[in-house]
Amino acid sequence: MTPDTFEALPLAAPLHRALRDLGYTVPSPIQAQAIPLLLEGRDLLGCAQTGTGKTASFALPILHAIHEKPKALKPKTTRTLILTPTRELAVQVAKSFTTYGKQVRFRQTLIYGGVGQNPQVAAMRIGVDVLVATPGRLLDLIEQRHLDLSGVEFFVLDEVDRMLDMGFARDVNKIVSMLPQQRQSLFFSATLAPNIVQLAEIILRNPARVSIQPQTTTAERIEQRVAFIHKEHKRHLLEQLLSEQAKAGSAKLTIVFSRTKHGANKLAKGLCAVGFQADAIHGNKSQAQREKALDRFRKGLTPVLVATDVAARGVDVKDVGLVVNFDLPNEPEAYVHRIGRTGRAGADGLSVSFCSDEELEFLRDIEKVIKMPVPLWNDHRWHDETVADKHARGIRGPVPARGGKSGGGQKRGGGGGRNQGGGQKRGGQGQNRGGQGSGQSQSQGESQAAPAVAGATGFNPARRRRRRSGGRSHYSGANSSR
Ligand code: AMP
């Protein structure tokens, strides 16, 4: 039986106190399932997306073990190693440990690239209880003998699917080979493709399995729409969407995804030029720039963040109400991750994807992965019926996006039943021992200005928000400090 409340979980008193302070009373499904198994010492294979509360599902049992069995720190070692694909996610995870463990005596640090290594080396000198790291810098420091993994008791691999997408397979294998045999291992991935299951089999021993989102399904709480549009008009439609957000008086934030770093910069600049407060984050920005941009975004000072996939990983901001796929991702799984930036912790979310002729193949792949057609939004000035029709009839775009297949005329399954317009119902650092916690002018060169408001018959994000107030989730409490 899974526990209905945190009180029913046999966690140490300081953890219960922290959870009460946070206002968390009801464990999310992954927490309810995973925490009892982890407290028994089992290895775990968790299939869960971000936004499901998975960080607490591993942070709480690990903090419990550290509290119950405190150990003297050993120089250059760590009792817990959490590997994440990106710096941003590493920072988020470390923050969660700080938040949940604010009344537990433990020491943690962060190790990631893109910043000087000296503070990280210094933090490891006396050893830590919890180390959150990205693979590359971790291996660097191991090779320089600034740390060793011989003391690891708890090993967590977070967002494994992303880790492999980003080419970390060799690094991960190398790190795993350095771990002691005697350990508890936890493995989290949003999808369980065969290569991921293979890696899990190497790492885990007789693992318990917990699956929160069935493989590759789209987060249910997120309302999705696709707009078929010529690529030159995408900016206008984006401006329209953002104006509607602003008109609705929404305090919600928007993340706009761009496929390229250059595109992200250009878009953010263009939005600023027409009066929106926007910033860009991508891999070419320094860690300090990324953190500053994220901080301003979180506070609502720049309510629009234009991001590339890698940079957006680990962005856990509660009030993201809208995700716009300005460009569709060429990896269908990235779509699931992108739209998962909204609808976090049980909140409502909306995602709008722009699809031009060149991106039809990407959309087809996405719909295969999410096993449903993305509902159509055609009630806007730039709707391109030719592209919509091509999609409905399964005709590929002009540029074979991947694999060089050209196509035509083939029928696609599942294209029917599209929702025309709106109205669609949806289913739904406390007492730690220190450590490093860590002018409104249309831009030139565009002939067509964006209309002020959407045509009022169909899908309209502002109306949708009014329609859909209420709808509480299983989460009952206030949210974290993230
Ligand atoms: P995660 O999937 O771990 O990134 O968590 C998503 C968000 O849910 C974070 O903002 C957490 O602070 C929040 N959260 C996690 N567990 C709970 C809970 N049981 N009740 C309320 N909020 C939660």
Atom of ligand 1 nearest to the CA of 474: 20
- Whether 79 and 193 share a structural domain: yes
Amino acid sitting at position 10: P
Residue with the smallest CA separation from ligand 1 atom 15 is: 53
pLDDT band at 344 (very low <50, low <70, confident <90, very high): low
- Together in a domain, 310 and 372: yes
Q: What is the pLDDT of residues 1-13, one digit of tens each?
A: 678 899 999 999 9
* Pocket test residue of 28, 88, 162 for ligand 1, highest count of atoms within 8 A of CB: 28
**Lowest-confidence segment of 50-59, 110-119, 291-300, 338-347 by average pLDDT:** 338-347
pLDDT band at 460 (very low <50, low <70, confident <90, very high): low
- Are both 206 and 226 inside the same structural domain? no
Which pLDDT tens digit goes with each residue over 220-256?
A: 668 899 999 999 999 999 999 999 887 776 668 899 9
**Residues 265 and 174 occupy one common structural domain:** no
Examine the fold and report which residue of 211, 239, 270 is the final residue of a domain before the chain moves on: 211
Q: Is residue 117 over pLDDT 80?
A: yes
Does 95 sit in the ligand 1 pocket, CB within 6 Å? no
pLDDT band at 474 (very low <50, low <70, confident <90, very high): very low
Using the mean position of ligand 1's atoms as its centre, give its distance from the Cα of residue 402 in Å. 37
Asked if 104 contacts 15 with a C-beta cutoff of 8 angstroms, the reply is yes
- Assess whether the C-beta atom of 314 lies below 6 angstroms from ligand 1: no
290 domain residue, yes or no: yes
My answer on whether 264 and 393 are in the same domain is yes
Whether the model clears a pTM of 0.85, i.e. scores above it, the answer is no
pLDDT band at 284 (very low <50, low <70, confident <90, very high): confident
**Domain-embedded: residue 217:** no
Among residues 362, 356, 353, 357, the alpha carbon closest in space to that of 403 is found at 362
Q: Which of 420, 461, 442, 470 is nearest to 324 (CA)?
A: 461
Q: Does any domain span residue 155?
A: yes
- Claim to verify: residue 303 and residue 331 sit in the same structural domain: yes
Contact 28 CB / ligand 1 (< 6 Å): yes
Q: Say if residue 102 is in the same domain as residue 160.
A: yes
pLDDT at 359: 96
In a domain, 473, yes or no: no
Please check the confidence at residue 215 and state whether its pLDDT lies above 80.
Answer: no
Q: 239 and 101 in one domain?
A: no
The answer to whether the beta carbons of residues 243 and 452 sit under 8 Å apart is yes
> Which residue has a Cα nearest atom 19 of ligand 1?
27
Regarding predicted confidence, which is higher, 41 or 51?
41
**Model confidence pLDDT, tens digit, residues 400-424:** 443 333 333 333 333 333 333 333 3
Residues 284 and 146 in one domain: no
What does the alpha-carbon distance between residue 102 and residue 106 come to, in Å, rounded to a whole number?
9
Say yes or no to pLDDT of 450 above 50.
no
Ligand 1 proximity of 342 Cβ (cutoff 6 Å): no
Average pLDDT over the chain, rounded to an integer? 80
pLDDT(345) > 50: yes
Q: Is the CB of 56 under 6 A from ligand 1?
A: yes
Beta bridge partners of 350: 223, 322
pLDDT, tens digit (0-9, with 9 covering 90-100), for 153-182: 999 999 999 899 888 999 999 999 999 999
Q: Measured between alpha carbons, how far is 307 from 139 in angstroms, rounded to an integer?
A: 28
Residue 332 has what pLDDT? 83
Ligand 1 atom closest to the Cα of residue 55 is: 3
Q: How many Å lie between the centroid of ligand 1 and the Cα of residue 350?
A: 19
Residue owning the nearest CA to atom 6 of ligand 1 = 51
Q: Mean per-residue pLDDT for 115-138?
A: 97
When pLDDT is averaged across residues 360-365 and rounded to a whole number, the result is 93
Q: What is the DSSP letter of 457?
A: T
Cβ of 285 less than 6 Å from ligand 1: no
d(Cα 186, Cα 347) in Å, to the nearest integer?
Answer: 27
In a domain, 434, yes or no: no
Q: Which region among 188-202, 259-273, 277-291 has the lowest average model confidence (pLDDT)?
A: 277-291
Cα-atom radius of gyration of the chain, to the nearest Å?
23
Which DSSP symbol is given to 310?
H
| Ligand 1 atom nearest 478 alpha carbon | 21
- Write out the residue range of the structural domain in which residue 266 sits: 222-408+444-463
Distance (angstroms) between ligand 1 centre and the Cα of 27 equals 9
CATH number for 166: 3.40.50.300
Residue 53 in any domain: the answer is: yes
Domains held by the chain: number? 2
Atom 12 of ligand 1, nearest CA residue: 480
Residues 190 and 262 in one domain: no
| Contact between residue 342 and residue 321 where contact means Cβ atoms under 8 Å apart | yes
| Model pLDDT for residues 304-336, shown as the tens digit of each residue | 999 988 766 656 677 888 999 999 998 887 888
79-83, 107-111, 349-353: the lowest-pLDDT one = 349-353
> Is 414 part of any domain?
no
Q: What percent of the chain shows pLDDT beyond 90? A: 55
pLDDT for 221 equals 67
Q: What is the mean pLDDT of residues 27-35?
A: 92
For residue 35 the two structure tokens come to 């925490």
pLDDT of 454 strictly over 90: no
Instruction: Calculate how far, in angstroms, residue 180's C-alpha sits from the geometric centre of ligand 1.
Output: 31
Task: Identify the weakest region by mean pLDDT among 167-181, 366-380, 382-396, 449-463.
Answer: 449-463
Q: Is residue 173 one of the residues assigned to a domain?
A: yes
pLDDT at position 449, please?
A: 29
Task: Name the pLDDT band for 397 (thresholds 50, 70, 90).
Answer: low
Q: Which of 391, 323, 407 is nearest to 359 (CA)?
A: 391
Residue in this structure with the two tokens 């920072």, named with its chain if needed: 91
